Amino acid sequence: MDDFDRVQAYAPMLQIAHHIPGRIRLKLCGANDKIKSLAAYAKRFDDLWRDIPGIRSARLNLVARSCTVEYDDALIPFRAWPDLLGGARSDEALKLLGILKQKFETLR
């Protein structure tokens, strides 16, 4: 299983609620136990989003079950988010995956 496949394991729990260039709001959906696990993970690493190249901010709202990410659309293409979450191995999705992977590899 590669990194793309690992993201796909969580993709069904994330739905794009709203997306314009530079800002995306994701809804957490699916089984409650998986949402709690994902939400706990996101909350634990919330402050690390600030250090990811191209990510301006990320806000998690557990009550609304959503996460809003503001990003630099010059670094992260608009299509990257829907492609990555939708399972399309496009150049844009792989670029976003590479950016995220760089940051989270430093956590190991």
Distance between CA atoms of residues 17 and 69, nearest Å: 12
Q: Which domains does the chain have, with CATH numbers?
A: 3-105 (3.30.1360)
- CA distances to 4, 29, 74 from 24, in Å: 20, 16, 15
pTM of this structure: 0.80
Q: Output the tens digit of pLDDT for each of the chain's 108 residues.
A: 788 888 888 788 889 999 999 999 999 886 566 556 665 665 554 666 767 889 998 888 877 888 899 999 999 999 999 999 999 999 999 999 999 887 766 655
Distance between CA atoms of residues 90 and 80, nearest Å: 8
Strand order in the sheet with 55-61: 14-20, 23-28, 66-71, 55-61
